[in-house]
Structure 1
């Protein structure tokens, strides 16, 4: 019998929102995140599996290095930038915890053609190894500030048999 997976320390490096679907991203130093609105002020915060998007700084840096360019992380159009973790298929069901805020990873964020509009080749550079980040649903409300430390923890059903 294997031991339960340990929590991974993470740090919040950035917060961003967009007021409407195609609007430019706006960086924030702090934000409230709720089950009803996602990151408050963001156009895509409705409840569901893609309520909040999270990007790994390490994965973003890998994609930028592959392209030979240093792009601002907001080009990815994610809500949160975290360091200390790289996401993958095993991330589904894990939870990001920052104080009272808990986000559940629901799936990979697929890079879309809008990435190539930001920088040619970015969509392909984000495609491998979940470099485009993850989608999350808000399980419990909380406040975020850039620099806040948190944990990536196994979810209650992670590793359990799922029937579809």
Structure 2
């Protein structure tokens, strides 16, 4: 049966929430946090980006570390300006997958592309991040709740049996 636990586990990978950053205003600093409130259909409480498709941005620790090694640099990952850093999972081809963080879920809608601010932080970073999925992913919050650094994370394929949202006819993550 496609929706059984063994099948779901084969379609997921698990890891850890390494860091949380909150951007309190557009172009403002990324403030580190030990925990954060996720608000369904809005994003991170207190974060400048609310609503829309880009409520939360996520990067993978291993990808960041690999880019720093390529650039022979040691830049604080907060410079990426993502909200969450995870380890133990790959965000490659994450579009349409569901990121479980603690008791909350984030439906990943696409790839976060690097902007000119990356080269302001470190010359050459934008070019290094240009490869597919190196800039991380963005998505919408499905469940309200508190997330904490150290929480378990899992990246799962959509489960259309009822535990993940069915796609709407317009391609948005929200079902009918």
Q: State how many pairs are aligned.
A: 159
Which runs of no fewer than 5 residues in structure 1 stay unpaired?
A: none
From 122, 142, 146, the counterpart of 1:143? 146
TM-score, normalised to structure 2's length? 0.83
Counterpart in 2 of 1:17? 22
From 67, 70, 78, the counterpart of 1:63? 67
TM-score, normalised to structure 1's length? 0.88
Counterpart in 2 of 1:7? 12
Shift of 1:147: 0.7
Counterpart in 2 of 1:152? 155
Q: Is 2:38 the partner of 1:33?
A: yes
Which runs of no fewer than 5 residues in structure 2 stay unpaired?
A: 172-176
CA RMSD of aligned residues (A): 2.2
Give runs of ≥4 in structure 1 deviating > 2 Å.
Answer: 2-6
User: Is contact 1:49-1:107 (8 Å) kept?
Assistant: no
CA-to-aligned-CA distance 1:104-150 (integer Å, 9 cap, x gap): 11000000001001111111111113111000111111211111112
Is the partner of 2:142 in helix, strand or coil?
strand
User: Is contact 1:16-1:26 (8 Å) kept?
Assistant: yes
